[in-house]
Amino acid sequence: MVGAGPAGLAAALAAGDLGCEVTLIDAGHGPGGQMYHPGMLFPGRGRAHRPAEHLPPGLARIRQLRQVRHLAATSVGRAVRDQDGVVTLWVGGTEGGAETTVEVRAVVLATGAAELVWPFPGWDLPGVTTAGAAQALLKSQRVTVGRRVLVAGSGPVLLPVAASLAEAGVRVVAVLEATPAPPAGGLAAYPGQRPETGGYAAALARHGVPVRTGYAVVACQGTERVERAVIAQLNQDWRPRPGSRRPETVDAVHVSFGFSPALELPRALGCAEVQPASRPVPAVACDADLATSVPGVFAAGAVTGAGGADVAELQGYLAGTSTARYLSRLPPDAYTERTRPLRARLENARRLAADLDEVCSLRPGWLEWPDSGTIICRCEQTRWSEIGAAVEGGARDVRAVQAVTRCGLGDCRACVCGPALQYALSAAAGMVPGSARPASAGQGGRHPLRWTA
Amino acid sequence: MGPDRMDPHRVRFSFDGAPLEASRGMTIGGALLASGIVSWRRTGADGRPRGIFCGTGACFDCLVDVGDRQAVRACLILVRDFDEVRTSMSRRAAG
């Protein structure tokens, strides 16, 4: 199992319960992933106030299961599957040190997702972070990045992050959701009004934090850190409305546009990918048993494009059970019987997620936010104008652009800039981003890209 | 507790030579942010300041030098007593 978030933990439990020997590899210091953070000692309170268990009861059982060997603070650098079906993972400590290898007969990829952030001028200034980073720092360490902040982007993550920050005493100037509310329904269709997120909306209202739909942070300014954010009103396609830009004094901006599955490891193993219609980012392709296109390689959680901890956990149990069947620890009819309730619950969850994706779909107008000098690849410092020059010089796909600009060839292996580059290339070619379909008038038409503005 | 005894819940470390304290269990990134420091790396080409971005170990923006370890991810590794943390000019992560 690679990844110890809800999906990886559930998969380890399911496979371990069926007698498989499980190695659980994760970069974190304890189990839980980005969803469940290990608690820590709060200043001045001492050990007695350390929460005994940060995992939900079902997953906390991981600590008792003898079949599970947990390699914490460990990353997978390379992975290869040989002709006999043995998968070799090269693993190393996150602090450096010698690599070792782990050989397994089957692997569950539960690598999760990176937060998706579209680039804008100044997004690389210190103080501009993903919404997830702000949440993680607050939840696990009681640390905040700024005192006067904006939470911006799109999707259901914004409200809980803003609510926790406000509860922690941070002055949240506003939550800016890029997608304008539909004219008739007001905020009705926005996830903030849905029952599962209604509590966050109430918390924000209590702290006087306005939630503005149809607005975005389109630039950040400052020298050593962000000092000002430029807010613009957007149209339905997320294009800034002329004359709507105004500055706001802040010392931090927390951004999220949803999630982009972490595909480095699945790609290394040759797993096929799918492109959900509503999202411009690919995910690992899985069948109903969560098997990928590579025999013995399974996937669960956000890496499959699924959203939410509950879905991830359900998928984890299914993938772990599926792995046990693959390893002949479970006869086929027992497998069917055991997984029937899981499948039904997953089907429900999938429908909910599809609704949410529909409301929070990503729109192409962000392509107007970068200016010529905006850094797109934070590792290699590739600028928007350099990508434009490559495209105008004939580069049509990611590899061709990378060869000229080095965009996406740095340490993060394109996990931050990859979706933006792919999206921009699709738009430049007149395609619906992420698909082979030409953009029609209904999707905002062909987007005129300005690389040198 | 006498003045010479260290609070077991606190960690003493330094950043670019300046002495700092943090709660035990914090990451280096968390410890620096808690001390009001948001930036601890300069990009190779144009010297732009960088700090925490993704907070999950994915983006490698928060690289920092710690003792003889160069370019480790500040968001992942825990701060330890007497760590000498320094602004990183490295272009590549250690691991």
Burial class from Cβ neighbours inside 10 Å (0-12, 13-18, 19+) for residue A212 reads: middle
Q: What is the pLDDT of residues B27-64, one digit of tens each?
A: 999 999 999 999 999 998 789 999 999 998 899 999 99
Q: Among the CATH numbers 2.60.120.10, 3.40.718.10, 3.50.50.60, 3.40.50.2000, which is that of A117-257?
A: 3.50.50.60
Domain that holds residue B67: 10-86
Q: What is the pLDDT of residues A79-108, one digit of tens each?
A: 999 999 999 999 998 777 778 999 999 999
The shortest CB-CB distance from A94 to any of B23, B54, B76 is to B76
Residues of B within 8 A of A142 (CB-CB) are: 23
What is the reported pLDDT for A162?
Answer: 96
For chain B, give the mean pLDDT.
Answer: 90
A447, A427, A424: which is closest to A437 by C-alpha?
A: A427
A111, A124, A411, A34: which is closest to B53 by C-alpha?
A: A124
What is the reported pLDDT for A116?
Answer: 93
What is the reported pLDDT for A427?
Answer: 85
B44 in a domain, yes or no? yes
Q: What is the pLDDT of residues A433-442, one digit of tens each?
A: 655 566 654 4
The total domain count for chain B is 1
Q: What is the pLDDT of residues B58-69, one digit of tens each?
A: 999 999 999 999
What 8-state DSSP symbol labels residue B88?
B
Q: How confident is the model at residue A185 (pLDDT cuts 50, 70, 90)?
A: very low
CA distance B35 to chain A (A): 10
Q: What is the pLDDT of residues A414-428, one digit of tens each?
A: 889 999 998 898 888
CA atoms within 13 A on the CB side of A195: 1
Fill in the amino acid letter for A96: G
Q: How confident is the model at residue A144 (pLDDT cuts 50, 70, 90)?
A: very high
The share of chain B scoring above pLDDT 70, in percent, equals 92
A220-224, A444-448, B89-93: least confident range? A444-448
Rg (CA), chain B: 13
* Cα-based distances in Å from A302 to A253, A259, A314, A411, A452: 24, 8, 12, 22, 35
Q: Tell me what the mean pLDDT of segment A61-80 comes to.
A: 90
Taking 90 as the threshold, does the pLDDT of residue A413 lie above it? Answer: no
Written as six digits, the tokens of B34 are 């808690």
Does the beta-carbon distance from A133 to B56 stay under 8 Å?
A: yes
CATH number of A370-443: 1.10.10
Q: Tell me what the mean pLDDT of segment A40-61 comes to.
A: 59
> What is the dihedral angle through the alpha carbons of A117, A120, A125, A126, rounded to the nearest 10 degrees?
-30
B43 in a domain, yes or no? yes
Mode of pairing for the β-strands spanning A252-256 and A128-130: parallel
Residues of B within 8 A of A265 (CB-CB) are: none
- For chain A, the domains span 6-114+260-357, 117-257, 370-443
Asked, colleague to colleague, whether A117-257 and A370-443 share their fold, the answer is no
Check if A143 contacts B (Cβ < 8 Å).
yes
Q: What is the pLDDT of residues A291-319, one digit of tens each?
A: 999 999 999 999 998 877 888 999 999 99
What is the reported pLDDT for A52?
Answer: 56
3-state secondary structure of A114: strand
A373/A382 Cα distance (integer angstroms): 9
B3 in a domain, yes or no? no
Q: What is the pLDDT of residues A204-215, one digit of tens each?
A: 999 999 999 999
B1 in a domain, yes or no? no
Residues of A within 8 A of B51 (CB-CB) are: 126-127, 225
Q: Closest-CA residue in chain B for A45?
A: B9
A127/A227 Cα distance (integer angstroms): 9
3-state secondary structure of A400: helix
Predicted ipTM of the assembly = 0.94
Beta-bridge partner residues of B86: B65
CATH number of A6-114+260-357: 3.50.50.60
Listed in sequence order, the residues at least 6 apart from B31 whose beta carbon sits closer than 8 Å to its beta carbon are: B11, B13, B20, B22, B23, B79
Fill in the amino acid letter for A413: R
* Cα-based distances in Å from B24 to A16, A47, B34: 33, 11, 12
Contact A325, A332 (CB under 8 A): yes
B28 in a domain, yes or no? yes
Rg (CA), chain A: 22
The shortest CB-CB distance from A379 to any of B30, B60, B78 is to B60
What is the reported pLDDT for A365?
Answer: 92
What is the reported pLDDT for B4?
Answer: 52
Taking 50 as the threshold, does the pLDDT of residue A195 lie above it? Answer: no
B4 in a domain, yes or no? no
In sequence order, what DSSP letters do the residues of A317-367 get, joined into one string?
HHHHHHHHHHTTSS-HHHHHHHHHHHHHHHHHHHHHHHHHHHHT---GGGG
The shortest CB-CB distance from A43 to any of B23, B69, B94 is to B23
Taking 80 as the threshold, does the pLDDT of residue A184 lie above it? Answer: no
Q: How confident is the model at residue A45 (pLDDT cuts 50, 70, 90)?
A: very low
Q: Tell me what the mean pLDDT of segment A341-369 comes to.
A: 82
* Cα-based distances in Å from B35 to A105, B14, B21, B30, B45: 47, 11, 8, 9, 28
SS3 content of chain A, % helix, strand, coil (to 5): 35, 20, 45
A302, A342, A298, A293: which is closest to A324 by C-alpha?
A: A298
Indicate the pTM of the whole model: 0.87
Q: Closest-CA residue in chain B for A135?
A: B55
Name residues 246-265 of chain A within 8 A of B (Cβ). 262
What is the reported pLDDT for B36?
Answer: 96
